[in-house]
Amino acid sequence: MNNTEQTTAFSGPFFVTGMPRSGTKLIAGLLDQHPSLGIPHRETTFLALWIRRFKQTGDVSSRKDFKKFYDWTVRLPYFSGMESDGFLIGMDEWYNSCSSYSVQGVFKALVRHDARIDEGSESTWGSRSPAHIRQIPMLRSFYSDCRIIHIVRDVRDYCVSMKKAWGKHPLRSAQRWRNDVLAAREHGMEYPDSYLEIRYEDLLENPKSELSRVCGFLGVCFNPVMLQLKRPVESAGDAKGQRGIIASNRGKYSEFFGSGDIEKIEQIAKDALLEFGYEVAPETVSKRLGPLRMKFYKMLDAASLLRTSTAKIGFRQALRISIDSVRMNRN
């Protein structure tokens, strides 16, 4: 977890990751304000799916193969979102901008386009996806020089946000948080100079200091324009529609959960809470969920997610997104 300015030039990629509802959109949006950094505002959750496809088909250097790949990939939710933004990349523009036709070259060309980085610009490019928290070894295998920014949020507030946004069961949320943040740290620390952790709460409390750390990690100087979002990045939760950094958007779990629920969450995640510097009562006894309870809560969560998504976008679209999510996040 190197917090110092890098001495060698770094042009990308960097990957912003963390558990869902933990500030990945916020920090990516702030980084994108920097004139020397570029990152699309939509999640690149499809990368693992791409890698599996490229392993089967090889590169797409011929225009015919690229056209086939293009027609397949633009059906994914990311591209539907870019189309609704009026910024869907065209097939010819994409093909002509690839430095290579491997998954690395095709992904780079897409991200630089969607981050609005001008051709020939030396701006550093990156992408964001909570799915990457489980994919750090994969990212390192395809981009050996990449840098990982892992943002961590207090599990108790994380469980509140997951419940509010998608109706997720707090105990399963706590177990997944504990497992994934510890695994991400373990994988990240295999390459300590290329891995940076930042706590969501520290970003809210001291944005200039924390963003300066991130800038140093990426080899650029801090720019004050990063302290204000150009446009809202959050479409759900207490920060919905906000352009500024909401310093008070933390420590709300005691208003939402009863003391019994908080204790259960802390029991599940005690070791990870302490490891990431969060306070837990010393007498708290660690107690993890068993596999049967996790499977039961997973079924409840799937039903809750489908129900909440259906209310927002309709059943067919919600079902399609759920299926695509399973496909894209399968390692």
Across the chain, what does the average pLDDT equal? 90
For residue 235, what pLDDT is reported?
Answer: 56
Is 319 among the domain residues?
A: yes
Contact 43, 114 (CB under 8 A): no
CA-wise closest residue to 211 among 57, 38, 50, 3:
3
For residue 207, is the peptide bond before it cis, meaning its omega torsion is within 30 degrees of 0? no
Using CA atoms, how far apart are residues 241 and 231, in angstroms rounded to an integer? 8
Is 264 among the domain residues?
A: no
Tokens of 128: 């964001």
Give SS3 for 150: strand
- pLDDT tens for 93-152 read 999 999 999 999 999 999 999 999 988 888 999 999 999 999 999 999 999 999 999 999
E strand spans, 7-152: 14-17, 37-38, 124-128, 147-152
Is 301 among the domain residues?
A: yes
Is 33 among the domain residues?
A: no
For residue 256, what pLDDT is reported?
Answer: 95
In terms of residue numbers, what domain contains 330? 291-331
What is the domain count for the chain? 1
Using CA atoms, how far apart are residues 198 and 210, in angstroms rounded to an integer? 7
pLDDT at 265 over 80: yes
pLDDT at 237 over 60: no
For residue 325, what pLDDT is reported?
Answer: 58
Contact 128, 325 (CB under 8 A): no
Which run of H or of E encompasses 307? helix 291-313
Is 313 among the domain residues?
A: yes
Cα distances (angstroms) measured from residue 148 to each of 14, 17, 133, 152, 311: 6, 7, 9, 13, 35
**Strands across the sheet containing 124-128:** 37-38, 124-128, 14-17, 147-152, 195-199
For residue 308, what pLDDT is reported?
Answer: 76
Q: Is 250 left (phi over 0), alpha (psi -120 to 50) or beta?
A: beta
Give SS3 for 199: strand
Burial 58-70 (b: 16+ CB within 10 A, else e): ebbeeeeebeebb
pLDDT at 313 over 90: no
Is 322 among the domain residues?
A: yes
pLDDT at 330 over 60: no
- pLDDT tens for 33-91 read 999 999 999 999 999 999 999 999 888 999 999 999 999 999 999 999 999 999 999 99
For residue 240, what pLDDT is reported?
Answer: 60
Long-range contacts of 93-97 (CB under 8 A, 24+ apart): 94/66, 94/70, 95/63, 95/66, 95/70
Average pLDDT over residues 171-196: 97
Is 305 among the domain residues?
A: yes
Using CA atoms, how far apart are residues 17 and 126, in angstroms rounded to an integer? 11
Contact 302, 322 (CB under 8 A): yes
Contact 46, 76 (CB under 8 A): yes
pLDDT at 23 over 60: yes
